[in-house]
Amino acid sequence: MNRINKLFNIQYPIIQGGMIWCSGWKLASAVSNAGGLGLIGTGSMYPEVAEEHIKKCKAATNKPFGVNIPLLYPQTDEIVSIVLKEGVKIVFTSAGNPAKYTSLLKENGVTVVHVVANKKFALKAVEAGVDAIVAEGFEAGGHNGIEETTTLVLIPMIKKITETPLIAAGGIASGQAIYAAMALGADGVQIGSRFAASVESSAHPNFLNAIVEAGDGDTLLALKQVVPVRLIKNEFLQQVQQLEKSGATKEELIKLLDRGRAKKGMFEGDTSVGELEIGQVSSMIDSIEPVEKIMKKLVAEFNETSNNLSGLKL
Amino acid sequence: MNRINKLFNIQYPIIQGGMIWCSGWKLASAVSNAGGLGLIGTGSMYPEVAEEHIKKCKAATNKPFGVNIPLLYPQTDEIVSIVLKEGVKIVFTSAGNPAKYTSLLKENGVTVVHVVANKKFALKAVEAGVDAIVAEGFEAGGHNGIEETTTLVLIPMIKKITETPLIAAGGIASGQAIYAAMALGADGVQIGSRFAASVESSAHPNFLNAIVEAGDGDTLLALKQVVPVRLIKNEFLQQVQQLEKSGATKEELIKLLDRGRAKKGMFEGDTSVGELEIGQVSSMIDSIEPVEKIMKKLVAEFNETSNNLSGLKL
């Protein structure tokens, strides 16, 4: 039992990233039932939808689960109120200032984790009093840092500046990678892409197939002027790049995005002109699997790696 | 003794990357004498200079050492001839087509390793018959891939497609990271930045200080249109970015580079308008150390990590 298992009272220190359009109650409850920590991704949900997912998740599992709240949307206050009202005990915040909600959440008995992509925000999160930090590298699919620091460099960097429990994210879709993250000093991992491509994912099958088909070099960290996100290369990304090349302002880029591009791509399945957020490690994902099978494989790979490296000395 | 130790007949599976302006005979022989594999970086050497460094390296160590030859310069034929004449037994080729020299080198009893940053070139290297592959991630300082695949994602990807001995590079400057690379399937590692910032490095002290001072987000993968290299952010990089923003052609960018920018920065110590190639992990390097001390620390950290993780199971 390590610090992350204890903090969340879970069997495996494996957290499923709260992803827009992928991680509703079905995915979150499946991950929690399989011994990890499932997170409902509220980034793509209206408050009433988030409430419904929380209620359904409570009905679907008696294991701990949590909610991810990106702090960049206007309805964050409402989402936080619902989380408190529904008695959700674990909240991961991301894409914003951790100082804003951490105290309120903790006063209400909520375990709070903040997602960071650089040293500066890691220190802010520690100062805000979070219970753990997710350090997410350049490989990751979600909102990313302008520093472009990769998981391999980021984890030891954050480990060096704080004793706060540390969860590694970005590029992790195998037990080998979980083991590597722990060698670097992480207490646990957050996995996005591998769970996005699961049977329980709420994303459109076309998007799931695009994840499976993505190979080496098929994603790019895009929209660096707005909010850096990693996308599968498609017509939409070409539109973004053309706009950027023509010297478009941040506002013009936001306008292009605001046409519900993420929903169109990930939920409605338009893989051509929709926005397809996914991690670089999608290049290593070649099947859509049930969560239970994914979790068993991760654990088996981890234990096999541990056996193989046992006693290894230089 | 693993496959990399055996292949090169070295004590530790730790290779010092052959870096321009940093790794002459002093650094290479120091690394070899400390139990790793030192490489003379010929990328910044005229053939006669390379010859001198090889002769001096032979005099300075009776341990195996090698030479790195980037395949993008006009004098490659001459360098290869010198390598054969001097009886160098290990050659790392990079930044070019591995099919060109591998056969010739191997016919002359040379162990050949090729550096790749993606799946496509890994397969080309295997086809060319190399003895090992260096898979170098987006974090690395040297010539990089347009795919921007990070070490964490790249190593398992290459491991999956070939049984050729695999050396991980990019983002590795600690024993923890070496251990992580092995968990991902690497047989050994190539380390650049950590050895660049050594007492035996031939780079200018101003450049070494710039490495020590570099923090999170202080490097950027630049010059993607020409040859992607990771640089410390300075006035030169701003010039490059301004040119790129103004829609400069590849030729105009090469013209800016051709003014001996790398030499100016790394060898002559003009850290303002010179080109400063270094890995992202420079953010974790905070002192200039003798090679022997660096090597001992890497080994100690590796063994400590191995002890800490011993028997760890999920």
The CA distance from A191 to B235, in Å, is 38
Cβ-proximal residues to A251 (8 Å cutoff; 6+ apart), any chain: none
Long-range contacts for A52-61 (Cβ within 8 Å, ≥24 apart)?
A: A53/A24, A53/A25, A53/A28, A54/A25, A54/A82, A54/A83, A54/A86, A54/A88, A55/A86, A56/A25, A56/A29, A57/A25, A57/A28, A57/A29, A57/A32, A58/A86, A60/A25, A60/A26, A60/A29, A60/A33, A61/A28, A61/A29, A61/A32, A61/A33
For B152, name the nearest residue in chain A, comparing CA atoms only. Answer: A171
Who among A157, A309, A314 is closest to B299 (CB)? A314
Of A150, A132, A141, the closest CA to residue A37 belongs to A132
- The pLDDT, as a whole number, for residue A107 is 97
Q: Testing the interface with B: which of A12, A153, A286 to mutate, by most B Cβ within 10 A?
A: A153
- The pLDDT, as a whole number, for residue A5 is 97
Lowest mean pLDDT, pick from A75-89, A233-247, B149-163: A233-247
Whether pLDDT at B296 is above 80: yes
A120 contacts in chain B (CB < 8 Å): 216
Measure B125 CA to nearest chain A CA, in Å: 17
CA dihedral B184, B185, B187, B189 (to 10 degrees): -30
Measure A75 CA to nearest chain B CA, in Å: 31
For B138, name the nearest residue in chain A, comparing CA atoms only. Answer: A150
Cβ-proximal residues to A218 (8 Å cutoff; 6+ apart), any chain: A232, A233, A282, A283
Of B216, B172, B222, the closest CA to residue B196 belongs to B172
Q: Testing the interface with A: which of B12, B216, B225 to mutate, by most A Cβ within 10 A?
A: B216
The whole-number average pLDDT for the span A36-59 is 97
User: Among positive and negative, which fits the CA dihedral A111, A117, A118, A120?
Assistant: negative
Who among B183, B310, B314 is closest to A299 (CB)? B314
Fold topology of B3-202+285-305: TIM Barrel (3.20.20)
Q: Which helix (H) or strand (E) holds B40?
A: strand B38-41
- The pair of structure tokens assigned to A73 is 């949307």
pLDDT by residue (tens digit) across B151-200? Answer: 999 999 999 999 999 999 999 999 999 999 999 999 999 999 999 999 99
Who among A147, A284, A303 is closest to B157 (CB)? A284
**Is A217 within 8 Å of B145 when comparing Cβ atoms?**
yes
- The pLDDT, as a whole number, for residue B226 is 87
The answer to whether residues B247 and B173 touch, using CB atoms and an 8 Å cutoff, is no
Whether pLDDT at A227 is above 90: no
The whole-number average pLDDT for the span A116-145 is 96
Whether pLDDT at A231 is above 90: yes
**Is B119 within 8 Å of A174 when comparing Cβ atoms?**
no
CA distances from B306 to A53, A67, B177, B311 (A): 42, 35, 11, 9
Half-sphere exposure of B115 (CA within 13 A, CB side): 32
The CA distance from A157 to A169, in Å, is 14
- The pair of structure tokens assigned to A66 is 């949590």
Backbone angles phi, psi at B298, to 5 degrees: -60, -45
Measure B105 CA to nearest chain A CA, in Å: 30
Measure B49 CA to nearest chain A CA, in Å: 35
Q: Testing the interface with B: which of A1, A151, A152, A283 to mutate, by most B Cβ within 10 A?
A: A152
User: Among positive and negative, which fits the CA dihedral B18, B24, B28, B30?
Assistant: negative
The answer to whether residues B47 and B85 touch, using CB atoms and an 8 Å cutoff, is no
The whole-number average pLDDT for the span A42-63 is 97
A287 contacts in chain B (CB < 8 Å): none
- The pLDDT, as a whole number, for residue B246 is 86
With a pLDDT cut of 70, the percent of chain A lying above it is: 100
Q: Longest Cα pair distance anywhere in chain A, in angstroms?
A: 56
A217 contacts in chain B (CB < 8 Å): 118, 145-149
- By three-state DSSP, how is residue A44 classified? helix
- The pair of structure tokens assigned to A56 is 């359904």
Who among A150, A302, A306 is closest to B138 (CB)? A150
Whether pLDDT at B1 is above 70: no
Measure A177 CA to nearest chain B CA, in Å: 6
The answer to whether residues A201 and A285 touch, using CB atoms and an 8 Å cutoff, is no
Query: Tokens 């490659």 label which residue?
Result: B76
- The pLDDT, as a whole number, for residue A148 is 97
- The pLDDT, as a whole number, for residue A53 is 98
**Is A152 within 8 Å of B157 when comparing Cβ atoms?**
no
The answer to whether residues B152 and A137 touch, using CB atoms and an 8 Å cutoff, is yes
Measure A137 CA to nearest chain B CA, in Å: 10
The answer to whether residues A109 and A89 touch, using CB atoms and an 8 Å cutoff, is yes
Whether pLDDT at A252 is above 80: yes
- Per DSSP, the residues of A75-133 read THHHHHHHHHHTT--EEEEESS-TTTTHHHHHHTT-EEEEEESSHHHHHHHHHHT-SEE
To the nearest whole number, what is the mean pLDDT of chain B?
Answer: 96
**Domains of chain B, residue spans:** 3-202+285-305, 205-281
B175 contacts in chain A (CB < 8 Å): 314
Of A105, A104, A42, A110, the closest CA to residue A79 belongs to A42
Who among A14, A145, A171 is closest to B152 (CB)? A171
- How many residue pairs from chains A and B have C-beta atoms closer than 8 A? 168
Position B257 confidence tier, pLDDT thresholds 50, 70, 90: confident
State in Å, rounded, how far the first CA of chain B is from the last one.
Answer: 28
pLDDT by residue (tens digit) across A256-300? Answer: 887 799 999 999 999 999 999 999 999 999 999 999 999 999 999
- The pair of structure tokens assigned to B157 is 């990807």
B297 contacts in chain A (CB < 8 Å): none
Whether pLDDT at B259 is above 80: no
B181 contacts in chain A (CB < 8 Å): 180
Whether pLDDT at B258 is above 80: no
- The pLDDT, as a whole number, for residue A1 is 65
For B181, name the nearest residue in chain A, comparing CA atoms only. Answer: A180
Tally of residues, chain A: 314
Question: Quick one: CATH architecture of A3-201+288-309?
Answer: Alpha-Beta Barrel (3.20)
The CA distance from B282 to A188, in Å, is 25
B120 contacts in chain A (CB < 8 Å): 216
pLDDT by residue (tens digit) across B196-221? Answer: 999 999 999 999 999 999 999 999 99
The ipTM value here is 0.97
Who among B280, B299, B305 is closest to A150 (CB)? B280
Q: Testing the interface with B: which of A161, A187, A191, A216 to mutate, by most B Cβ within 10 A?
A: A216
Cβ burial of B190 (10 Å; 0-12, 13-18, 19+) is buried
Q: Which residues pair with A94 in a beta bridge?
A: A70
A215 contacts in chain B (CB < 8 Å): 119
Cβ neighbour number for residue A53 with a 10 Å cutoff:
24
Query: Tokens 């005229």 label which residue?
Result: B46
The CA distance from A255 to B258, in Å, is 41
CA distances from A177 to A17, A160, A168 (A): 16, 20, 10
